[in-house]
A = this chain, B = another copy of it.
Amino acid sequence: MKQWGFIATWCMAFDACFEASKELAIGTKKASDIVEHAIKKIEDYPFYKSVGCGGLPNTDGVVELDAAFFDGDTWDFGGVAGVKNIANPIGLAKKISTDRFNCFLVGEGATIEAQKQHLPFKNMLTERAQKAWEQKKQDILLKNLSPYDGHDTVGAVTLDQKGSMAAAVSTSGLFMKKSGRVGDSPFSGSGIYVDSEVGGCVATGLGEDIMKGCLSYEVVRLMEEGLSPMEAGEKALNRFEQKMLKKRNHCGAISLAILNNKGEWGIATNVEYSFVVSTQDIPATVFIAHRKEQKTIIEKASEEWLQAWYKKTHRDTITI
């Protein structure tokens, strides 16, 4: 059996990773379909507050979503940004990725295209997310808090047994963002990049900063030069952070999930970051990473950590 692999950002991708790993082990479905299905599953789950249905709204209380799909074989790339009321932004991104023209659509135009493509519509604002928004509005007003929190984009890179790779990302973006704000996620090279001859990378974190560095492109490029996924991720992130500190005195949260075309994986992060991996050698597993004295420490999530995460994620109210 040939190598296969799946890596995705954040613990929320565990169920999707588990399902994907079963399909990848069987080996009949394509990487592109598996990664789309995985992201759809996460978009559909109303308890994840940063992706799809249940995602946190913008400052006006409206859920605006971004997504992108990238086929590593054909370089079919599709992106959507600031879309509303579409059940699966990733489905629209994949749909338009095969078009030679108009493969990136924003706002109302994206909604019109989804209608023409007969994709399902849905009210993506859950009562739970709305309550969190109302609470945050109050807090900002009364406690003068910074409105910006919570931008946990889900992104995944997949390698199937035939050697095809694909990547996909989906996010509701920054909680309390301005209407129309888009982060790095749907931009080729910033939030997502994949080449089946090399590997792929997806990013999560402060999109405004990530897009200044084209980090997903840079990681894939470094892998093409011969670096392992871990080496490429760390090198790209460290270099970028140094530039950011020099130019701007600060650098936002950034985490990467990386897979090469041999099924080897890697990550890089400047915050505590959970991610999920499965390959031929590893059953679907949640890992936690953080940086300590310039080194990336990766540990398997403990039962205790997972239970606390599950409890927090499924509470009636969202705590930010």
Contact = CB atoms under 8 A, between A and B. Distances in A.
A252 B187 CA distance: 19
A112 B183 CA distance: 18
A57 to B, nearest CB: 13
B180 A109 contact: yes
Interface in A238-264: 243-244, 247-248, 252
A292 interface: no
A182 B248 contact: no
A212 B188 contact: yes
B208 A103 contact: yes
Contacts of A106: 81-82, 106-107, 180, 182
Contacts of A99: 208
Contact of A208 (B104, B218, B243): B104
Contacts of A187: 187-190, 211
Contacts of A105: 178, 180-182
A167 to B, nearest CB: 13
A73 interface: yes
Copies in the complex: 2
Interface string A194-219: 01000000000001100110100110
A156 to B, nearest CB: 19
A135 interface: no
B102 A181 contact: yes
Nearest to A187: B187
A299 interface: no
Nearest to A107: B107
Contacts of A252: 100
Interface in A59-114: 64, 73-75, 77, 81-82, 99-110, 112-113
Interface string A258-296: 000000000000000000000000000000000000000
B107 A75 contact: no
Contacts of A107: 82, 106-109, 180
A218 B244 CA distance: 18
A305 interface: no
Of A174, A177, A180, most buried by chain B (CB within 10 Å of CB) is: A180
A75 B248 contact: yes
Contacts of A218: 217, 221
A193 to B, nearest CB: 8
Contact of A179 (B64, B82, B109): B109
A121 interface: no
Contacts of A81: 81, 106, 182
A148 interface: yes
5 contacts: A64-B109, A82-B109, A100-B252, A101-B177, A188-B214
